Amino acid sequence: MRVTALKVGATALTLATTVLSALYVTSHLKNPAAPLQPTVLRSGTTTLAGGTLTLGPSVQPSDVQPVTSTYAS
């Protein structure tokens, strides 16, 4: 009798744990469409007048006025 009660109790505990875990997981879904953190910077090749410009992820374009430029001298 005591053995049966232990078996029933263990089974009930297992089932309860499984159900509660399933409920917790379904109520805490991660959004697969969430943006990556940190943001992946823009990079790629752009064709401009006279040539092609390629920016790697560590060089960001900007709209501000440059203080100086690289040029042939």
Interface with another protein (CB under 8 A) = 48-56, 58-73
Output 32 or 56, the one with its CB closest to another protein.
56
Output 3 or 40, the one with its CB closest to another protein.
40
Give residues with Cβ within 8 angstroms of 57, minimum separation 6: 40, 41, 42, 43
Output 37 or 68, the one with its CB closest to another protein.
68
Half-sphere exposure of 42 (CA within 13 A, CB side): 6
Least distance from another protein to the Cβ atom of residue 44, Å: 11
DSSP 30: -
